[in-house]
Homo-oligomer: A and B are copies of this chain.
Amino acid sequence: MIKQLTIIGVGLIGGSLARALREAGVVDEVVGGGRDAAHLQRAQALGVITRYTTDLAAAVQGADMVLLAVPVGAMEVVLRAIAPQLPADAVLTDAGSTKGSVIAAAQRVFGALPAGFVPGHPIAGTENSGVEASFAELYRGRRVILTPTTASSAEAVERVRAMWQATGAEVMEMDAEHHDHVLAATSHLPHLLAFGLVDTLAKMGDKQEIFAYAAGGFRDFTRIASSDPQMWRDICVHNEPALLALLDRFEVDLKRLREAIANGDGGYLLEVFSHAKAARDRFCDEN
């Protein structure tokens, strides 16, 4: 049971958590904190939060659970704002897409990492954003990755785990570095490639004609290039080491594909394409 959950950043992610926990009856009060009073007022009117304040330090007063659901680029500023008033026994978690950078920010703000700090990342979202898009079922059957630090207490980890489980999510743990590597592979690099390809094509003189002939495969492939540019700028900057390591591997492989095409080496292409198809069919089993 959570007495006071404070959510800094009441958008799709924070709002959906609040809705799910209220529906599950496992939270008494949900306090919203953020910069935009009009936005927080809407969240209150929608019944997502109980009350709100634009004073972040005041927002965490009295909280036994605090969730930071702001872009990863804003984490350090928010941590600095809440630190003076964060109750000593409060559990602090976040929903950032990168974990190493959030931990580094916490280290800079707190000096020693607090025992109540348990970084997390719910692997969920929709194309839409904002509290208006939030819904209680967002996390049902989805995965939430917790990346406890060496300082995180077992009790704090357990409380964050219980909170996410109450939303219907499956909770797992891994270390932050591994999280950042896995997410760079399945999320950050794909977004970078999709944004990059659409930008390359959009810079071409005949772009209108090019896009006019885009069929279903292109739409699927580039759907993630319709994601929020600021959020993805933050993620790319904040997951630099893992993302660049993967990008470098990919570029080496792409160069070999280029050579094979230039040399008419169909055998190599067939091998790579077959390997890729088999892996995708096996791991992304779907119709």
Contact = CB atoms under 8 A, between A and B. Distances in A.
Interface of A: 73, 123-125, 142-143, 145, 181-183, 185-187, 189-204, 206-215, 217-227, 229-230, 232-234, 236-237, 240, 243-244, 246-247, 249-251, 253-254, 257-258, 261-262, 264, 266, 269-270, 272-277, 279-281, 283-284, 286
B276 A183 contact: no
Contacts of A196: 250, 253-254, 257, 272, 276
Contacts of A182: 206, 209-210, 213
Contact of A213 (B145, B194, B198, B246): B145
B210 A186 contact: yes
A283 B208 contact: yes
Given A185-B204, A276-B198, A286-B219, A258 B262 contact: no
Tell me what chain A mostly uses at the interface: helix, strand, loop, or mixed: helix
Given A185-B210, A218-B186, A224-B221, A229 B277 contact: yes
Contact of A240 (B191, B217, B261, B272): B261
Given A192-B257, A195-B272, A240-B264, A186 B200 contact: no
A224 B211 CA distance: 17
Given A185-B204, A215-B186, A226 B280 contact: yes
10 closest pairs, A vs B, by CB? A211-B283, A229-B273, A202-B279, A198-B276, A199-B276, A233-B269, A186-B214, A195-B276, A229-B274, A233-B270
Contacts of A123: 213, 215
Contact of A275 (B199, B217, B250, B264): B199
B230 A199 contact: no
A284 B200 contact: no
A229 B272 CA distance: 8
Given A215-B187, A237-B269, A221 B207 contact: no
5 contacts: A196-B250, A198-B277, A240-B264, A243-B261, A247-B254
Contacts of A192: 257
